[in-house]
Amino acid sequence: MSGTFFCVGVGPGDPELLTWKAISVLEQADVLVIPVSDKGLEEPVYTDKTDVTMEKYLVQCMAYQIVKEKLPGLREKEKLYLPMPMIKDKERLKQIHDKDTALLLHILDQEKTAAFITLGDPSVYSTCLYIQKRVKKKGYPTDLVPGVPSFCAAAARLNKGLAENKEQIHIIPASYGVEEALCLPGTKVLMKAGRKMPEVKQAVKRRGMEMEMVENCGMKGERIYTDIEEIPDEAGYYSLLIIKEKKG
């Protein structure tokens, strides 16, 4: 017997958007898994609730900042801090993810359940999938707990639908192939578009499209822009764009 590894989507930022299932899984989990992008953490670390030396990683983890408001008891749980650096070196990432998985499997072998918290939904561009696939391949039980995706929450904040009737929806990571993506039919959603903003704005203007943006959706400092001319060139990392053809 072994414990189950859960990947828990906590939504885009507003704690009110946590699902009942996410709350239930997190409350019952033995170990809370914290993804860490800080380069200061080079090896996975498994700690009890009293390790104050790891506090800064909790502060940096946006997913933890969301859930702690509704579930203060999570602070008392054992924690597994996993290095999940934002780099493109595939071989280096493989080595890191393999080490992360090895320590996680050791915990699961103790028949403990572990819950990895992730922004939005775990099935959409989530780093938890790198670990989940490895755990699943080793024959251990895994479970994805869906969360409200950021693009659905952003559309709601803009008070508009993403698509109607036969319209298509395309979800695009803004760091790849923006020009080609804008040629796709229907609604284009560009995620984490902050660094590409000037390039995207110019491309959208050339095509005569409409573009709206929600920055930090559901988080502190949330900003909503309904006119492309209002969107700043220097936007935050959590900037989501919704692009449509102009109508009428």
* CB 214 within 8 Å of CB 224: yes
Cα–Cα distance, 103 to 41 (Å, whole number) = 15
- Verify that 140 and 97 share a domain, yes or no: yes
Q: What does the alpha-carbon distance between residue 219 and residue 34 come to, in Å, rounded to a whole number?
A: 19
b/e 40-56 (16+ beta carbons within 10 angstroms → b): ebeebbbeeeeeeeeee
SS (H, E, C) 97-143: HHHHHHHHHHHHCCCCCEEEEECECCCCCCCHHHHHHHHHHCCCCEE
Residue 248 has a pLDDT of 60
Residues 120 and 79 in one domain: yes
Q: Are 155 and 138 found together in one domain?
A: no
Domain that holds residue 218: 150-245
Indicate the length of the chain as a whole number. Answer: 248
Side chain identity at 122, as an amino acid letter? P
**Which two structure tokens, joined as six digits, stand for 129?**
């999938």
Is residue 176 within 8 Å of 183, Cβ to Cβ? no
**Tens of pLDDT along the chain (248 residues)?**
799 999 999 999 999 999 999 999 999 999 999 999 998 899 999 998 768 889 999 999 999 999 998 999 999 999 999 999 988 889 999 999 999 999 999 999 999 999 999 999 999 999 999 999 999 999 999 999 999 999 999 999 999 999 999 999 999 887 766 788 888 999 999 988 777 888 889 999 999 999 999 999 999 899 999 999 999 998 888 999 999 988 76
Q: What is the DSSP string of 54-109?
A: GHHHHHH-HHHHHHHHH-GGGGGSEEEEEE------HHHHHHHHHHHHHHHHHHHT
Per-residue tokens: 31: 């170990």
Same domain, residue pair 55 and 116: yes
Total H helices, total E strands in the chain: 8, 11
Looking at the structure, do residues 117 and 218 belong to the same domain, yes or no?
A: no
Which residue, 145, 171, 205, sits at the end of a domain? 145
- Any idea what the CATH number is for the domain that residue 124 is in? 3.40.1010.10
Q: Identify the pLDDT of residue 193.
A: 78
What is the C-alpha to C-alpha distance for residues 44 and 27, in angstroms, rounded to an integer?
23
Count how many Cα atoms sit within 13 Å of the Cα of residue 70 in the half-sphere of its side chain.
19
Q: In whole angstroms, what is the distance from residue 37 CA to residue 60 CA?
A: 9
Q: Cα dihedral sign for 103, 106, 108, 112?
A: negative
Rounded to 5°, the CA angle 50-38-149 comes to 95
- Using CA atoms, how far apart are residues 173 and 170, in angstroms rounded to an integer? 10
CA distance 206 to 100: 45
Phi, psi for 98 (deg, rounded to 5): -65, -40
pTM check: above 0.75: yes
Count of domains in the chain? 2
Among the three residues 99, 126, 145, which one is the final residue of a domain in this structure?
145
Same-domain status, 105 and 203: no
Q: Are residues 70 and 159 in the same domain?
A: no
